[in-house]
Structure 1
Amino acid sequence: MSNLSKKKCTPCKGGVPPLEEKEINQYLSKLNAWQVVGLHHLSKIFSFPDFKSALAFVNQIGEIAEEENHHPIINFTWGKVEISIWTHKINGLHENDFILASKIDTIINQNTQE
Structure 2
Amino acid sequence: MDLSQKKCIPCEVGGPALTLEEARALMGQVPGWTLATDGKQITRTLLFKDFAQALQFANKVGDIAEAEGHHPDLHVSWGRVMVELWTHAVGGLSENDFILASKINNIIP
Taking structure 2 as the reference length, the TM-score comes to 0.95
- Looking at structure 2, the residues matched to 91 and 31 of structure 1 have their Cα atoms a distance apart, in angstroms, of 21
Partner of 1:34: 33
Counterparts of 1:89-104 in structure 2 under 5 Å? 89-104=89-104
- Looking at structure 2, the residues matched to 16 and 106 of structure 1 have their Cα atoms a distance apart, in angstroms, of 28
Counterparts of 1:15-94 in structure 2 under 5 Å? 15-37=14-36, 38-94=38-94
Answer whether contact 2:14 2:91 (CA < 8 A) is retained. Answer: no
Partner of 1:11: 10
Identity, % of aligned positions: 44
Runs of 4+ residues over 6 Å off in structure 1: none
Where in structure 2 are there 5+ consecutive unaligned residues? Answer: none
- Looking at structure 2, the residues matched to 44 and 30 of structure 1 have their Cα atoms a distance apart, in angstroms, of 14
- One-letter amino acid of the structure 2 residue matched with residue 79 of structure 1: G
Taking structure 1 as the reference length, the TM-score comes to 0.91
| 1:62-96 CA-partner distances (Å, limit 9, x unpaired) | 00000000000000111000010000011100000
Question: 1:3: Cα distance to partner?
Answer: 1.1
Secondary structure of the structure 1 residue equivalent to 2:88: coil
Question: 1:15: Cα distance to partner?
Answer: 2.7
Where in structure 1 are there 5+ consecutive unaligned residues? Answer: none
- Looking at structure 2, the residues matched to 43 and 96 of structure 1 have their Cα atoms a distance apart, in angstroms, of 14
- One-letter amino acid of the structure 2 residue matched with residue 77 of structure 1: S
- Looking at structure 2, the residues matched to 74 and 33 of structure 1 have their Cα atoms a distance apart, in angstroms, of 16
Q: CA RMSD in A?
A: 0.9
- One-letter amino acid of the structure 1 residue matched with residue 84 of structure 2: S
